[in-house]
């Protein structure tokens, strides 16, 4: 009996030694995953970063609704247009400020007036020509819609707004008509 007991203890010590000497597994390093995810599932890239060559792009989202898919499409389109309007307003403001500072007008008060006038006119520009070009339905049933409007359409409206703002003061308009100013305007707002 003592012999059996000592055999069991010895076997236990050997097993403990073998198991204790084993290398512990290294913790797994999580790799950065920059793929687009919505609701913790992979989603089309445009749902995270709306980009379309030659167009301003935005994303509209409509929650699942008992009113049906038609209603959800209208809501997503309206939300996408709102997103577009905010983006365009921000981009136009930056472009107009860059443009007006490079035209050599000189009087910062006048430049501020032009920026304000253009911003007000652009805010009134409806997004004619905007349309939904792609959709994706999330696991919860929310509808994501990619909405775009051609850059040339918006840029043409911006050019007209800038020109009409300068035309309000003939002295400024004469400065604006300088060749470099017109070339600068074409560079900031390409319509081709």
pLDDT at 109: 44
Whether 180 is covered by a domain: the verdict is yes
pLDDT at 182: 62
pLDDT at 50: 95
Q: What is the residue range of 132's domain?
A: 42-188
Whether 101 is covered by a domain: the verdict is yes
Going from the first residue of the chain to its last (192 residues), give the mean pLDDT of each consecutive group of 10, the final group possibly shorter: 64 62 64 89 96 94 95 95 86 66 49 54 66 96 96 80 61 53 71 70
CATH of the domain at 133: 3.10.129
Whether 156 is covered by a domain: the verdict is yes
pLDDT at 38: 96
Whether 159 is covered by a domain: the verdict is yes
Helix (H) or strand (E) segment spanning residue 99: helix 69-102
Rounded CA separation 21/59 (Å):
56
pTM here is 0.62
Kind of pairing, strands 55-62 and 131-137? unpaired
Whether 19 is covered by a domain: the verdict is no
pLDDT at 89: 79
pLDDT at 3: 65
Whether 2 is covered by a domain: the verdict is no
SS3 content of the chain, % helix, strand, coil (to 5): 55, 15, 30
pLDDT at 152: 86
pLDDT at 97: 64
Whether 8 is covered by a domain: the verdict is no
Q: In total, how many domains does the chain have? A: 1
- The neighbour count for residue 19, using CB atoms within 10 Å, is 8
Whether 22 is covered by a domain: the verdict is no
pLDDT at 5: 58
């Amino acid at each position: 009996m003592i012999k059996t007991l000592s055999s069991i203890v010895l076997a236990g010590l050997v097993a403990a030694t073998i198991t204790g000497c084993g290398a512990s597994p290294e913790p797994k390093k999580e790799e950065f995953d920059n793929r687009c995810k919505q609701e913790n599932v992979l989603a089309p890239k445009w749902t995270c970063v709306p980009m379309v060559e030659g167009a301003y792009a935005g994303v509209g989202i409509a929650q699942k609704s008992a009113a049906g898919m038609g209603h959800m499409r209208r809501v997503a389109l309206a939300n996408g247009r709102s997103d577009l309007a905010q983006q365009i307003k921000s981009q136009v403001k930056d472009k107009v400020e860059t443009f007006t500072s490079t035209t050599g007008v000189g009087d910062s008060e006048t430049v501020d007036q032009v920026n304000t006038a253009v911003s007000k006119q652009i805010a009134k520009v409806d997004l004619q020509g905007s349309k939904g070009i792609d959709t994706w339905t999330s696991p919860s049933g929310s509808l994501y819609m990619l909405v775009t409007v051609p850059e040339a359409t918006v840029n043409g409206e911006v050019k007209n707004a800038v020109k009409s703002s300068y035309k309000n003061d003939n002295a400024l308009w004469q400065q604006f008509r300088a060749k470099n100013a017109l070339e600068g305007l074409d560079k900031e707002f390409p319509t081709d």
